Structures are given as structure tokens and as C-alpha cells.
Amino acid sequence: MTKDERNRQADGLSLAKILTFALANLPIAALSIAVFVYLPPYFAGHLGVGMALVGSVWMGVRLIDIPIDVMLAVMMDRTRTPIGRYRFWMVLGAPVLMLALYKLFMAPHGFGAPYLIGWLLVMYLGNSIVYLSTSAWGATLATLYHERSRLFGVITAVGVLGALSVLAIPILGETFGRTNAQSVQAMGWFLVGLIPLAIGIAALRTPERIVPETRRPKFAIGDYVEVLLKPDLLRLFLAQMALTLGPGWMSALYLFFFTDSRGFTVQQASILLAVYIVAGIPGALGTAALARRIGKHQTLMLTTTLFSLGLLAILVTPKANLVASLPSMIWAGAMASGFGLMIQAMLADVGDEIRLKQGRARISLLYAVNALASKIAAAFAIGLTFPLLERLGYNPAEHAVNTLAAIHNLTIAFIAGPVVFVMLGGACVLGWRLDARRQGEIRDALDARDAELEAAGG
């Protein structure tokens, strides 16, 4: 297949098709806000569960959950069903995720570690199934270097709408006299209803093509070891860890920082967070457009630097001044939106190179490794920050009065962690070699081989 033919093929991936598929990212993005920003403080502040217990259990469950992604990825890449490869898994993961979210958001007061461990594990299992199947399916929908930036840019932008929809609940809740606890519970019901609707439409309306392979499915441990030790994948693994840990650290401390350190109410803090998230829509689309001009890895390094500058600017804005804080939050949110989409698009390029060499699709495995990095980092974001603040004397209980020293430590922790880790994430892709020219050569070879295999009935 020539480049002109491939360009015509890319033109067939219309915006309508991308938007339909991107609906699956609505609950994934909404879940990330509800679970990681609001649920831990809800457990510690309202349900009477200790910060150290919440932090340690969250980190432990993340680490226990790590092998599950790899096993899921291996099964996904070997799956062939009448309804497709990734569609089957996406539909399977939805009810698992719904059940776990119901149990977590409707948890009883003063629950113990076994309850939290069990339902967090189920939630992460369901989330892993949906996330991996969606990411791998997306990589097969768009096959061109720049088209992948566009696809994942739109998916990210649609995810922002999911995050905003769940974030509107506490903002509107306070307006209508609902307590913070009631708003958090309402988030849970919203997620349980959104999952079957969004995932159902995406699964039913998106075409899926299972790429031909040069040999029959066979478990070859050497192939998997070769993939896992691939330098490009290791670099993206480290980048994803750093770029998850930075914003994850920020999310874990967000409500504490903006209420106790910056003097905002929970409603005002939620409005600022909504602004930060809304900025992700133009940020994601702008990042994707920028990547088409300067390349994916250059775009990632630029956005990490600009994000850090925007976060530091929060410290020089007047306290409790909503309007003055808007520019910094808009800037940081726009830049942060480019982190995940660039790594996902770069992983798809690595997947093409691996399939050309091994003759087998390993794309689910690549996104599983990416998910592992995110899980490890997210575990440490809560597992480190909550016990740290407790040791530094910060009290998260509702109506608690903290000392100036405790609030000062909270401020330092909120800023330092994200800046350091985000800058490290950008540095991980210095000298990246899979640019548009190289990926185009790989796609030429893959398309030619796929055409031969399909003509031969492979």
C-alpha cells in the first residue's frame, strides 16, 4: 500500500467514528476524578477511616493488582470471538466495574481493611479490562503516525467531558444544599449509570478489524521477554510512571491544599478543578495539532516544562481569589492533557515495530505495561502523601484546625512532587527515534505483508 493509499485510508476514520469510539473514555476519565480526588478524603474525613490505612491499602492493592494487567493483555491479544477481539473484553469489563464502584461509593461507616482491599481489587480489575481493551482497539483503528495523535487527542478531549460531568456534582451539590458526603455518593450513582450507556454505544457502533498474523497463536515466552525489555518501551514506562505520579500526587492533596492552604471552599476548589479539566479539551486538541508539526516526543517535552511553570505560578496568586487563580489552572490543565495522549500514540508506534518483527500483535501487552506504570505511580501518590502528611501533623478531619507549620508542609508537598516528577517524565523521551519518517517505513512494510496474508487467507 502506497502512502497516498494510506492517507485515503486515514481519511476514512471520520470524526464521527472517532467520537463514537471515544465515548468509552467518558466513564474512565470520570472515574479517575471521582475515585482519586474525592473518594480517599471521603473515606478519611467522613467515614472515619484512618489516613494511614487508606494510603497503605491503596498502595498495597495497586501493587497486588500489577500482574493482572499483564495476564489480561496476553489473553486479549490471543482472543478471537464472533464479536471481535477488544469489543468482547470491553463489554465484559463494564459490569465488573459497575459493581465495584457501587460497593466503594456506598461503603459503610468505619469499614475495615478487608472491605477496602476486596472492592478496590475488583474495581481495578474492571478498570483494567475497559482501559486496556479501549487503548488497544484505538491503536488498531488509527494506523498512521499523525492520525494516532488526532485519535488519542479526541479521545482525551472526550474524556475531559466525562471528568467535568462528575465534577459538576459537588459544585451543584453545594449550591442545592447537599453535603460533601452526599455529593460523593451521587458521583458513584452517576458512574454506575454512565458505564453501560457510554461503553455500550462505543462497542456497538465501532468497527473492529483483527489484523492478520504470520503464525498461529502460540505462547512464546521469549517473544514476551523481548517486548518487555525493549528500550523504547522501558523509556515510555518510566515516562508514564513519572507523568502519573506527578499529577497523581497533586490530585491526592488537591482538596486539602486548595481549602486549607489557599483558603477556598470545597465548592470553589471544585470550580478551579473544573477549569483545570475544561482546559484539557483545547489542550488535548492543541497538543495533537502541535505533535503533527514538531513530533510526539518534542511535544511531550514541551508540555511537561510548561505545566511545571504553570503549577509554580499558583504560589504567587492571591489566596482565596478565584479569578486570579484561573489563568494558572487553565495553563496547567491544558499542558497536562497532552501527557497521556502522547504516550498512548507513541506506544502504538512501538506496537507496529514489534508486530513487524515478531509477526504477532502485542499491542495489549504494551498498554498493559503502560497501565502498570500508571498503577504503581498512582499507588505511591496516595501511599506516600497521606502517611507523609499525617507524620507532618496535618489533620484531614472535617472542621479540624491545622497549625501554620502543618499547612506550610502541605503547600511544599503539593508543589514539589508534581514539578519534580513531571520534569523527569519529559526527560525520559530525549532523543526518541520513532519519528514520522521511521513509522511510515514500518507501516509500508506492515501494510504490504498484511495484504499478502489476507490474499492468502491468513
pLDDT value at residue 333: 92
The single residue listed with the C-alpha cell 489542550 is 283
Cα 309 → chain centroid:
22
pTM over 0.85? The answer is no
Mind listing the pLDDT tens digit for each residue in 22-73?
999 999 989 888 887 788 878 876 776 766 777 777 777 767 777 788 888 8
Q: What is the pLDDT of residue 21?
A: 92
According to CATH, the superfamily of the domain at 9-208+218-455 is MFS general substrate transporter like domains (1.20.1250.20)
Closest residue by Cα to residue 244 from 116, 158, 370, 383: 370
Cα 215 to Cα 449: distance, rounded to the nearest angstrom: 13
The 10s digit of each residue's pLDDT in 380-419 is: 777 778 788 888 788 777 677 888 898 888 899 899 989 9
Q: What is the mean pLDDT of residues 286-305?
A: 93
Closest CA relative to residue 61, chosen from 115, 133, 129: 115
Domain ranges of the chain: 9-208+218-455
Rg (CA), the chain: 22
Position 215 scores a pLDDT of 57
| pLDDT the model gives residue 297 | 94
Cβ proximity of 30 and 166 under 8 Å: yes
**Alpha-carbon distance 414 to 256, whole Å?**
9
Check: CB of residue 126 under 8 Å from CB of residue 97: yes
Gap between the Cα atoms of 237 and 353, Å rounded:
17
